[in-house]
Structure 1
């Protein structure tokens, strides 16, 4: 009995001690929970764990629950995790985690903040959470300077504005003038009506043609002029007895035809080629012939159908007569250039099959150019002996055009070249002359000159003639 009592008494004492410790712990926890901590935070868990990675760090998104005291240091989060020290505060929306390995809190930018974190923000670095008194003074000084400058700028604007009239007044004046803005088509229609008027003088018609020449450089305007009957009165001007109207009409026609297939087709269908050849054979002034040659060249360029009609209507015969009568050489150069362009076009078409992806219209163009027997006509009409005469000119440009044409015609004229002693001597003389010019330019430090190109043309022609 004595032993049992002693055991019961010891057990009661132990139980009392344990109960006292439990109560003490509860009081301590209650006090800790009721006391406001310095960095109280309300957290919403946003846990991210890797696949099968037990013990990974937990990520939490932090929102301010209590007001942060003014003396707390605000940490500016970045893209990288950084340690959050005791007494530090973080902006709302930042991500905070408890590193289970180190036991420290870490912070970085939240997801929404990361969206707008641009390269520009990265380069600016950390933003200062406070400014020194000196920095504030400098900022206030800068504001005052900006205000003073704005005031001076306003005064300057007032001075400038006083020199000009208000926009509303200008609008009223424009309305009183009853100005009408015309499109190009309306202008051309008005000019065509004026040209056809019986009261319009020759000088006025010439002025109208010059205005039209300026407008038809645009492809759409040239086509619109044809659709409103402009080709008819232009051809009438070519048949005029006044050479000034002939010159201006040919100028307008050449500009409208240049690189415009639609107008080229309409011109051939309206008989413009026959009119041009007739005028070219009968016109007297040199200025008229130059403009007509310009129109003929524009009509024939890249248009094998017109080239075939040109040959069938005696175009080469007209050009040969003009070539023989031209003493100055200006018409000769234009004629030889036009013939060279026609030969080169056909050669380029024959070489187009070498392209990896030929044009869809290639076969049709080859067929059309095959109907143009230009080189045979050149041989028959005596151009193998006419073109070399252009080498006698003193102009370097004329000689270059002649050499290029001679090379292009070599396939049909080679036998005649070899029999032409005048051509052989001209080539030798020109080669010596241009080699001396090349040497002179090399002495003064100039290379790859225009004269080297002419020497190369002469060499190429001499090689073909051997």
Structure 2
């Protein structure tokens, strides 16, 4: 009996020692400040310090600017937010938005920060002093009128912040390239595209367009293009930075074909569907300047991208306008006509360039792959549809069209020859 009592007391003592050791385990930072490894919650929010473990059952807020977390004991009467994310006891994340009243005492409640940010950092990238003096490295929140995607993981938010910080602080080419690759993956998400544009991230990426490395320039342009794609809020920030004239300047001087293609992609992504961007292209003689680049860079891939740019540029279905509340409205034909009427002289130049690309002085096919040829013909057809007077057939163009016959009856060329027949109708040849 005494032996059993001794063993029982021994077990209780060992358990007490181990528990006390764990609870008193501390973390010390570089400054020598020490704090408990396990976060101790109260009824009020406190910052979760670096390396601290967060027990299950707490209410946690995450500041998307800094990535810092604040936690307190979970209060079922606290209705600060109806959109929450749950971290289960095993650390797995359930990102489905649910209602706060459905929370039990086990999970950790996560909220995104709702802090307002002063957006006075409008930077014109033609002024290097403005770039150097912009030291605001905080991450901006999503502006009013845009519903934030609450399914984005906390890890992705932290990765985004880390990438933006690295672009500012690293000089390693390998690390810059790796960071740009990560950013390009992230900014496919509209929210990250907006945050990149509204914070210091876009400024850092734009500065890399002037890097000595062609690979870095290509990847930087790709990040910009991806962030702007179908993202009117990001496009709006690019307009404030005068990014369109800057990209046109770079295109005019760039000699590397792959860099030029990526720069054109970035420009196209800013312009597509944005009436103000189209106006900026006009103000900076963008179509005429791009026509000069088209003639200089005799490359099929680049010329195909130019044809896509022109086709989208004048397609009325691509034109939208952003109002003050960031809503999008489809434009009527009359509104589209007001936009495209700004470019009649430049459009005639493009119609002639496209026709010249297809055949030589003898009216014979030039050495152009079918994909490029199809895109150029799409450009001609679009111009003819909306600028008929500015797109007459040049000498030998009708003869060239009449020779375009699918003699082999190749199925994979059906789309191409349907397009050819459509253009024949437009020019009165069928």
Taking a change above 3 Å as real, the CA distance of residues 365 and 394 of structure 1, as seen in their structure-2 partners, is closer
Deviation per CA, 1:173-202: give whole Å up to 9, x if none: xx9xx79995222212122222212x5323
Q: Measure how far apart 1:278 and its partner are.
A: 1.1
Q: Measure how far apart 1:218 and its partner are.
A: 0.7
Say which of 457, 462, 466 aligns to 2:419. 457
Taking a change above 3 Å as real, the CA distance of residues 233 and 389 of structure 1, as seen in their structure-2 partners, is same
Q: Measure how far apart 1:347 and its partner are.
A: 8.2
Taking a change above 3 Å as real, the CA distance of residues 461 and 226 of structure 1, as seen in their structure-2 partners, is closer
2:195 aligned partner: 224
Q: Give 4+ residue runs of structure 1 displaced > 6 Å after superposition.
A: 178-181
Q: TM-score, normalised by structure 2?
A: 0.56
Report the secondary structure of 2:404's partner residue: helix
C-alpha contact (below 8 Å) 1:184/1:221 kept by paired residues: no
Aligned counterparts of 1:372 and 1:379: Cα–Cα separation in 2: 9
- Which runs of structure 2 are paired with 1:109-124 in the superposition (5 Å)? none
Aligned counterparts of 1:309 and 1:268: Cα–Cα separation in 2: 8
Deviation per CA, 1:411-464: give whole Å up to 9, x if none: 53557534x222122212222xx2x121xx4xxxxxxx3423322322222222
Taking a change above 3 Å as real, the CA distance of residues 372 and 222 of structure 1, as seen in their structure-2 partners, is same
C-alpha contact (below 8 Å) 2:272/2:319 kept by paired residues: no
Deviation per CA, 1:298-323: give whole Å up to 9, x if none: 11111111011112202112211121
Taking a change above 3 Å as real, the CA distance of residues 362 and 344 of structure 1, as seen in their structure-2 partners, is closer
Aligned counterparts of 1:396 and 1:450: Cα–Cα separation in 2: 11
* Unaligned segments of structure 2, at least 5 residues: 1-36, 38-50, 54-90, 92-153, 321-326, 359-365
2:392 aligned partner: 417
Aligned counterparts of 2:375 and 2:420: Cα–Cα separation in 1: 12
Matched, 1:386 2:353: yes
Q: TM-score, normalised by structure 1?
A: 0.52
Deviation per CA, 1:198-252: give whole Å up to 9, x if none: x532332222111111111111121222333111111111133433322121111
C-alpha contact (below 8 Å) 1:188/1:212 kept by paired residues: yes
Aligned counterparts of 1:217 and 1:301: Cα–Cα separation in 2: 16
Q: Measure how far apart 1:366 and its partner are.
A: 5.5
Taking a change above 3 Å as real, the CA distance of residues 209 and 363 of structure 1, as seen in their structure-2 partners, is closer
Report the secondary structure of 2:315's partner residue: helix
Aligned counterparts of 1:208 and 1:179: Cα–Cα separation in 2: 27
Aligned counterparts of 2:400 and 2:221: Cα–Cα separation in 1: 36
Say which of 239, 257, 261 aligns to 1:286. 257
Report the secondary structure of 2:396's partner residue: helix
1:406 aligned partner: 380
1:261 aligned partner: 232
2:26 aligned partner: none
**Greater share of helix:** 1
Q: Measure how far apart 1:291 and its partner are.
A: 0.7
Aligned counterparts of 2:338 and 2:281: Cα–Cα separation in 1: 15
1:376 aligned partner: 344
Taking a change above 3 Å as real, the CA distance of residues 192 and 464 of structure 1, as seen in their structure-2 partners, is closer
Matched, 1:429 2:396: no
Q: How many residues align?
A: 267
C-alpha contact (below 8 Å) 1:308/1:372 kept by paired residues: no
Answer 1 or 2: higher relative contact order, Cα 8 Å, separation at least 6: 2
1:83 aligned partner: none
Taking a change above 3 Å as real, the CA distance of residues 223 and 363 of structure 1, as seen in their structure-2 partners, is closer
Larger mean CA deviation between 370-379 and 382-391 belongs to 370-379
Matched, 1:336 2:310: no
Aligned counterparts of 1:184 and 1:308: Cα–Cα separation in 2: 35
C-alpha contact (below 8 Å) 2:225/2:267 kept by paired residues: yes
C-alpha contact (below 8 Å) 2:208/2:220 kept by paired residues: yes
1:166 aligned partner: none
2:116 aligned partner: none
1:205 aligned partner: 176
Report the secondary structure of 1:399's partner residue: helix
Deviation per CA, 1:385-430: give whole Å up to 9, x if none: 1011333343111221122221211253557534x22212221222
Report the secondary structure of 2:408's partner residue: helix
1:187 aligned partner: 159
Q: Measure how far apart 1:253 and its partner are.
A: 0.3
Report the secondary structure of 1:361's partner residue: strand
